Amino acid sequence: MLEEDLTGLPGVEVVRWDMGDTAPRTAFDIVVQPYLRSPRVLARLEGIEVRLVQSQSIGYEAAARFLPPGIVYANAASVHEGSTAELAVALTLASQRDIPRFVAAQSEGRWAGPREGDAPIPSLADRRVLIIGFGGVGKAIATRLRGFEAHVEAVATHARTEDDTIVHALEDLPALLPNTDIVILALPGGDETAKLVDDAFLSALPDAALLVNVGRGSLVDTDALLRHLHAGRIRAALDVVDPEPVPADHPLWAAPGLLLTPHVGGASTAMRPRIAALVRTQAERMRRGEDPINVVLRT
């Protein structure tokens, strides 16, 4: 539990509150938002004096709808980037090397090795990879991909070269897609990015291209993606989807060429010590009279 990691920090008292009921106090210096709970719980801060709300997630687009006025809100930058990048690479490798087919064959006791005349299994080496979004997660993905001898470039709001990566402007995206083998989405959600990946986006990709999403499910038009998957045009590996969680009868479950994981990008052993370190940093800065880090909202 996070409170166990923080107990004993000099000058800090830890109060357990899951935000599921009435607050045990009328004032807190720091409230750590529960992980994997609906952002609606933030409305319980109404009438509570709070100096800082510390999220345990990177994304914060939903928080603004429920935060009462006068709240300073920080996200969990530095906590999830490494784990999310690991999963992005794992999904990419698993899809490229046809791992889901081999797992299915193993469960059937069937040897699924290559046969004469079979097309070669696609590699990650020498593939043209385009990372869309070059914040903390996008940079962490690029760093990990370099060791696989892939040709890695990125797209962000502004063109530049950063961390040895060529970053194109967002308006250049239509010209880049036809020459891209693998697209990895690492953008936040929100109105500005909703359904960025639509039918026109997918149609611009070459046949057999791979779409990987570790950003937000809202980035992708699910109906358009399903049409392209069923046509055998492209493949996809998704950790985030729309809708989420996926209903039991949803066509995503049976879509061909799709590898699906249940939004577990940041849920690794790296999370707990890193979020504890971030909260300790915020508490120490507060005691010294310094501003908190990672502030993304002031309501």
Catalytic residues, which ones? 216, 244, 263
What are the distances in angstroms from CA 123 to CA 116, 252, 282? 19, 25, 43
In whole angstroms, give the CA distance from residue 53 to residue 36: 15
Q: How far is residue 30's CA from residue 231's CA, in Å, rounded to a whole number? A: 51
Q: Quick one: DSSP state of residue 48?
A: -
184 exposure class (CB count in 10 Å sphere: 0-12, 13-18, 19+): buried
Q: Provide long-range contacts, Cβ within 8 A and 24+ apart, for 52-58.
A: 52/282, 52/286, 52/292, 54/30, 54/278, 54/279, 54/282, 54/292, 56/32, 56/271, 56/275, 57/33, 57/266, 58/84, 58/136, 58/137, 58/188, 58/266
Neighbours of 126 (CB within 10 A): 11
From the number of C-beta atoms within 10 Å of its C-beta (0-12, 13-18, 19+), residue 109 rates as exposed
- DSSP assignment letter at 80: S
Q: Using CA atoms, how far apart are residues 221 and 202, in angstroms rounded to an integer?
A: 10
What is d(CA 128, CA 284) in angstroms, rounded to the nearest whole number? 44
Burial of 36 (0-12, 13-18, 19+ CB in 10 A): exposed
8 Å CB contact between 168 and 159? yes
Q: Which two tokens stand for residue 95?
A: 């899809």
The answer to whether the CB of 31 falls within 8 A of the CB of 50 is yes
